[in-house]
Structure 1
Amino acid sequence: MAIFIRFNNIFSKLLKLALDYNACAYSIFACIFLTFAYVASLYVWRTELSRDHPSTIKRRFFSVSCIMFLAPFFMRFFLKEETLNRGDVFQQLGLRLPGLIAASITSLILTAILFLGPLTMQFLSGTWKIYTEPTYWVSSWKDLTWVRNHFMAPLSEEWVFRACMMPLLLQCLEPFTAVFVGPLLFGIAHFHHIFEKRKAGFDLKTALIVSTFQFTYTSLFGAYSAYLFLRTGHFVAPLAAHMFCNHMGFPDFLEIRYYPSMERLAIISNFVLGFILWCCLLTPMTNPYIFDNRLHWET
């Protein structure tokens, strides 16, 4: 009898491991599928027009919106009951009210600190004055390319790659591991720009180099974005950071040489200072208790 009980316990443990393995495999498969579905939605339309043509942008807005609508249902299908016991679907997606304002402000402050160098360059060049002009914002919202880069791209990417994928990855990966695995899919998704570069006349080698560079920095940003989502428990946190980063663009380090010597010193100092402050403040400023994040508070 004792042997039977022991055998039954071992069998139960093996069965649980097998089920956990399958659940993990299904979760990762679901994330990979969402990645391909997102990229495929951009190319479902046959056209010879460039990606910046209004017709192309409008069509892609529609197809990406469809993926955004379907992604949460797809995610829900693969969520385990024990995951849902920790928080309902809306909480898993980062859609909740407690800590919403704090998550938005904290995300913007942290990202602005990281971009202290580029912000200093904008201040010294007088670019900041443009933001006080109402006509700038009116004309920007009339520009479909601007709307795509500053609004639709961050919204759709954060919704699919963070809100819908992170809960799936957290079912089978440690939080720290999930923070870096998910962004790899986010970075890989940007390799589709190879086709855009080739279409624009770039040779294969140049297109590959540019896309590899995009993969690198989008993966790094994706890790930061995933960390914000995990720590705050809010979708708005990575969304705000993404919009800010897309607005600033990748820092143009070569532009520093065109500033006077004292201004160059100030810019370089703020690049270094911003990065150091960001590293020091990232963990304490995203303490889950600040945002009443009970879903992933242990992280």
Structure 2
Amino acid sequence: MMHKSRSNPFNSILAHGALITYTLIALFPVFVILVNSFKTRKAIFRDPLALPTSDTFSLVGYQTVLKQGDFFLYFQNSMIVTVVSLALVLLFGAMAAFALAEYRFKGNMLLGLYLALGIMIPIRIGTVAILELMVDTGLVNTLTALILVYTAQGLPLAVFILSEFMKQVSDDLKNAGRIDGLSEYTIFFRLVLPLVRPAMATVAVFNMIPIWNDLWFPLILAPAEETKTLTLGSQVFIGQFVTDWNAVLSALSMAILPVMVLYVIFSRQLIRGITSGAVK
């Protein structure tokens, strides 16, 4: 006699417990950075894991960051590049994934493999060609150049993940929408996208951190003062012979906060996306 598989609450508890454990392990370096950003230089090297006391507490790092360079401009540039790039990656990635999962045509599999090549081939290999293209189009030292590069960088992973989730959406739901006279765009935005929100949150988190922390392309494509990102602007405190560790840790602490906020926004959907196949 065949028995229907039931959800095992114990597996759900294990999955969520593992995620909490991994989160705490991942947050420990963040905790160390935040704690040391409020300490004197001597206290940082004497006992990096100790909490700041009345003798070791210092805001010199934050004062240096705010005085040297335009920190708020760097922050604004990073926020614009990250948010716009994520929006474009999610929009175009979801549309491409929907087309690959929904419509059957010659070359469907080959097109999917071609789009997935970006996962295996790092985009940095084409840095010289990308720089030449940006020079020819006059996009050097613009945020547009960074947004285009990060969008292209994130699309392969987005298409690969979202296409698998798109295939799990009920055909009956989409066909019912077509019978009711809904257009393909309406079906996509109103019926399909709400059902794949956990997958989209997963894609957003996986792409958000590499974009926010990237130093390579801002240094190559947008090194001007008015287009510097937060990561590139923080490098001013790191010298060949002398490094201002108070300023570096303070800059990193302020740079971490937006990523943490975005992670919290997407965390619920992210956990649902990761554990959706583990709790059945």
Above 0.5 in TM-score? no
Q: Which has the higher contact order (CA 8 A, sep 6+)?
A: 2
Write 1 or 2 for the structure with the bigger share of helix.
1
TM-score (normalizing by structure 1): 0.29
